[in-house]
Structure formats: structure tokens, C-alpha cells
Amino acid sequence: MRKLSLFLLMLLAVVATFSSCKKDNEKIDKSLIVGRWQSTTGNYFEVYYSNGTGKMWNEDDDVHEDEADTFNWEFDGNNNTKFTQTIHFHSGAADLPQYCNIVTLNESSFVYNNSGWRRTENLKRVK
């Protein structure tokens, strides 16, 4: 009986693990990335334009929209969950490509992992 209980517990753990995994190429409406986004925890902003350009700034660092760093962005081929930002720093530093994986993208939330900066951006749509 003890072995059966242990087996069922292990089986449940395996099923829970696989059911919580997201498919790499899950369907995401790419057009939802266009718009103005703000960090859920501060005054960091990103704006994505439909022409593949954008800008970012952090008012907590006393940087405002007119001083924003600009970037180009594009999705990675047919993969709906990966995109690249190539940042053009306002300071004149070299362009920096950032490879990102989308966790959530919907009308109100945009969450992605930025592998270059090793952080997760949690953003909400703002006007």
C-alpha cells in the first residue's frame, strides 16, 4: 500500500509538471505588443510602435520620455514567443541586441524574460 501511494504521488507530480509547461511556440497575438507599457513596480516605460521601433526610459532614474533610449524590435521568425530588441543608447554607446522570451502578452499585461540583462520585465498597458 505504501508503494502504491508513493507511486501515485510521483505520478501526480509528473503530470503537474508537464501540464504547467508552456509550449515554445504558443500562439500569441503579435499585434498586442504595440503600445505604451509601464513597469508594475515603478516608473520604467517601454513604447512599441507598429513600424518595429520603440523607446524606453526610467523616471526613477530621472530620465524622461524626451531623453529615452530608442530600439528596434522584431519577432524571431515564426516563433511567437521570442523577439529581439536592439537598443540604441541615448549616450551614444554601441547598439545592444537583447534576446527576449515572452511569458505573457495580452491586452493589459506584457511579461518577458530578457536574457541579456537576466531579468523579467512585468509591464502593464498604459495610455
pLDDT in tens, 83-114: 999 999 877 788 989 999 999 999 999 999 99
Non-local (6+) Cβ contacts of 47 within 8 A are 35, 36, 37, 54, 55, 56, 68
The pLDDT of residue 63 is above 90: yes
Which tens digits make up the pLDDT trace of 24-56? 446 789 999 999 999 999 999 999 999 999 999
Q: Where do we find the cell 522570451?
A: 101
pLDDT score for 1: 57
Residue of 95, 84, 9 whose CA lies nearest to 48:
84
pLDDT value at residue 125: 98
